[in-house]
Amino acid sequence: MLAALPLLAAAPAPEKPAAKPALAPSEIVAAAPAGDWVAIAPADLLVMDLAPDAQGRARRVVIQLMPAPFSQGWVGNIRKLAAAHWWDGLSINRVQDNYVAQWGDADGEDKARAKPLPAGLMTPFEGEYSVRLEEIFPARDAKEVSTAADVEKWVTPDQEFAASLPKMADAYAPSVFHHRGWPLAGDMDRYWPIHCYGAVGVGRGMSPDTGSGAELYAVIGHAPRHLDRNIAVVGRVIEGIEHLSSLLRGTEALGFYKRAAERTSIASIRMGGEVKDLPRFEYLSTESGSFARYADARANRRDAFFIKPAGGADICNIPVPVRRAKG
Amino acid sequence: MLAALPLLAAAPAPEKPAAKPALAPSEIVAAAPAGDWVAIAPADLLVMDLAPDAQGRARRVVIQLMPAPFSQGWVGNIRKLAAAHWWDGLSINRVQDNYVAQWGDADGEDKARAKPLPAGLMTPFEGEYSVRLEEIFPARDAKEVSTAADVEKWVTPDQEFAASLPKMADAYAPSVFHHRGWPLAGDMDRYWPIHCYGAVGVGRGMSPDTGSGAELYAVIGHAPRHLDRNIAVVGRVIEGIEHLSSLLRGTEALGFYKRAAERTSIASIRMGGEVKDLPRFEYLSTESGSFARYADARANRRDAFFIKPAGGADICNIPVPVRRAKG
């Protein structure tokens, strides 16, 4: 419920108890069997430790990198940048309200002062912002896909499972679906990862530049879906997004900070495999019955607080549950 | 563009200059003629002054209240609460990441310590979360509306204007549209204001409680549309949302603060007519050609940074432009 508050000026409570309300989405997730959770390899995590806050509290942001076949050129660069400890001592330079928090080299525009990039970074091209359906499902025969219904059959061949998923009408793409833990969209020709809240993308200059991955941002507002297919999505924040979303907003154009002192220092960014005592993380399989029930409950809230189930949901309002593994 | 950054690892720039790019949404808004802007009456503004931040900077949040026929029971209560200076000295008690910042009486649950409400508040009922179409268009004859196309004709009878608006396919309602500056949704039977980023709503207890308006929240994350028709939307933040969205997140359930010291004090909340030297605000008429061009540009970014126009937009990604009036 939205608020644990008194029934201010409330009508009298009903005299007979209501039927037992349905489970809330969080309760469905909590009840999911262990087998519905999928481990996230530490090697696929990027761990950003910001300088402690004004009260001396640690600020760690954990990012899960996009798996193949998406954005792998940039993801490979990011692995190299982290291995080179390239971001250490750099900063968060831009925080634009309801949009993004962005980090990298604040002096990057000044050739004389820019921090040199490690050798061996590749230059992905714009075609890599999206993939073909058969790249997502390599074990399947390629076949003609001409309607959103065809895509649904390909993505979720189990018709009973497909029917249990909620409606997710979308303004940006004919098809949107979850696959192996990620929200994806497609138009029958190409398929791409979605800029939902917490998504991490690659800052770039003007086309045909695609960015290297050295300059990254996280979405801290309403899903900026117009960026889909225009910028590479390389991952998502799975823990600690509040350390980015609660930062002071920059007052210059695009939310850049006016004074260097306003920036937040990055102590280090490391691949998860390099970080001692990193908790193990896991996500709720988007191919599980628990996920289907969770998604349906997100789209049709029937738990006690709600009086009108919506009947559908925006895919970005069905965030894939991620948690620290137990034990 | 997303980043004023060097073309790191970029491909060579094209040799011939590209065709002149289309205007960005912000450029369309800046070019809108004065006649396309509509003044917002100070009497419809709620001005919240928080205590200064740790650096002593002022923090003012300006809220535009919902006009009739929406949510007027709660809006009337809010006017009375502001007139009574009821919120002065209270606090922001809950900040939940990607959801809401909520303010009111932190002791409200404790009958012995709760701050008494002013006399004369009304108790709106749940039916007032939405209205009938003829309540929005009182000058028009009521008639049968049975499809989304019928609604579109009623809402935007000018077919040329209607055709110039972008597609806004929606997961939550068959019809979504802007009307007199507000994003609305409807299902042919009922129509309601939408919880977009910055929307202000009324905290409540369990149904049939509807809240009085004493406990308010602002949306600081992805539009929580599942709250539509479940809670009263009473306005939206038109300036200073960053003073709410950048607050420390609460660590208790639902984002409530663990310690009283974490709360942010409210110095005062006043109706705009009572505030000296308040700037005048105006919104871009959603019935203007400028708005149609702006909305189309939000849905189809063709300005220089973008390579793939989306072809549509979520209504919450077409925020109604609001600015301080010039001169």
The pLDDT, as a whole number, for residue B145 is: 79
B90-93's contacts with Cβ under 8 Å and 24+ in sequence apart are B90/B115, B90/B265, B90/B266, B91/B263, B91/B264, B91/B265, B91/B266, B92/B50, B92/B244, B92/B247, B92/B263, B92/B264, B92/B266, B93/B250, B93/B256, B93/B257, B93/B263
Q: Which two tokens stand for residue A282?
A: 């896991």
- Test A172 with B256 for CB contact under 8 angstroms: no
Residues of A in contact with B294 (CB under 8 A): none
The pLDDT, as a whole number, for residue A326 is: 85
Residues of B in contact with A214 (CB under 8 A): 8
- Beta-bridge partner residues of A269: A48
ipTM of this complex prediction, to 2 decimal places: 0.93
Q: Which two tokens stand for residue B157?
A: 């009878």
From first CA to last CA, the distance across chain A in angstroms is 29
Q: What backbone torsions phi and psi does residue B177 show, to the nearest 5 degrees?
A: -160, 160
The pLDDT, as a whole number, for residue A10 is: 38
- When CB atoms are compared, the residue of B54, B168, B207 closest to A307 is B207
- When CB atoms are compared, the residue of A3, A125, A312 closest to B102 is A3
* H/E element, A80: helix A72-83
Residues of B in contact with A231 (CB under 8 A): 2
Closest residue of A to B213, CA-based? A8
Q: Which two tokens stand for residue A268?
A: 């280090």
Contact in structure between A196 and A183 (CB atoms under 8 Å)? yes
- Test A203 with B2 for CB contact under 8 angstroms: yes
- Test A211 with B8 for CB contact under 8 angstroms: yes
The pLDDT, as a whole number, for residue A327 is: 67
- Test B98 with A230 for CB contact under 8 angstroms: no
Sign of CA dihedral A250, A256, A259, A264: positive
- When CB atoms are compared, the residue of A117, A210, A314 closest to B225 is A314
Closest residue of B to A7, CA-based? B205
pTM of the predicted model as reported, rounded to 2 decimal places: 0.94
Q: In angstroms, what separates the C-alpha of B61 from chain A's closest C-alpha? A: 14
- When CB atoms are compared, the residue of B126, B203, B247 closest to A3 is B203
- Separation CA B203–CA B219 (nearest Å): 12
Residues of A in contact with B225 (CB under 8 A): 310, 313-314, 317
Contact in structure between A92 and A244 (CB atoms under 8 Å)? yes
Q: How many CB pairs under 8 A join A and B?
A: 273
Closest residue of A to B168, CA-based? A171
Q: A12, A29, A19: which is closest to A282 by C-alpha?
A: A29
- When CB atoms are compared, the residue of A168, A172, A308 closest to B230 is A308
- Test A313 with B205 for CB contact under 8 angstroms: no
Contact in structure between B217 and B48 (CB atoms under 8 Å)? no
Q: What backbone torsions phi and psi does residue B282 show, to the nearest 5 degrees?
A: -150, 155
Q: In angstroms, what separates the C-alpha of A302 from chain B's closest C-alpha? A: 11
- Test B254 with A215 for CB contact under 8 angstroms: no
Q: In angstroms, what separates the C-alpha of A238 from chain B's closest C-alpha? A: 13
- When CB atoms are compared, the residue of A172, A223, A299 closest to B222 is A223
- Test A229 with B308 for CB contact under 8 angstroms: yes
- Convert the pLDDT of each residue in B226-279 to its tens digit: 999 999 999 999 999 999 999 999 999 999 999 999 999 999 999 999 999 999
One digit per residue, pLDDT tens: chain A, 327 residues?
Answer: 344 433 333 344 445 555 677 999 999 999 999 999 999 999 999 999 999 999 999 999 999 999 999 999 999 999 999 999 999 999 999 999 999 999 999 999 898 999 999 999 999 999 999 999 999 988 776 667 888 888 888 889 899 999 999 999 999 999 999 999 999 999 998 999 999 999 999 999 999 999 999 999 999 999 999 999 999 999 999 999 999 999 999 999 999 999 999 999 999 999 999 999 999 999 999 999 999 999 999 999 999 999 999 999 999 999 999 999 986
The pLDDT, as a whole number, for residue B148 is: 87
The pLDDT, as a whole number, for residue B3 is: 44
User: pLDDT below 50 — which residues of chain B?
Assistant: 1-14
- Test A98 with B231 for CB contact under 8 angstroms: no
- Test A11 with B109 for CB contact under 8 angstroms: no
Q: In angstroms, what separates the C-alpha of A111 from chain B's closest C-alpha? A: 9
Residues of B in contact with A10 (CB under 8 A): 123, 205, 208-210
- Test A317 with B226 for CB contact under 8 angstroms: yes
3-state secondary structure of A2: coil
Q: B249, B218, B221: which is closest to B61 by C-alpha?
A: B218
- Separation CA B247–CA A246 (nearest Å): 6
Closest residue of B to A252, CA-based? B4
The pLDDT, as a whole number, for residue B5 is: 39
Closest residue of A to B54, CA-based? A54
Q: In angstroms, what separates the C-alpha of B285 from chain A's closest C-alpha? A: 22
A contact test, residue of B1, B7, B8 with most A CBs within 10 A:
B8
- Test A8 with B214 for CB contact under 8 angstroms: yes
Residues of B in contact with A90 (CB under 8 A): none
Q: Which two tokens stand for residue B99?
A: 């959801």
Q: What backbone torsions phi and psi does residue A53 show, to the nearest 5 degrees?
A: -80, -175
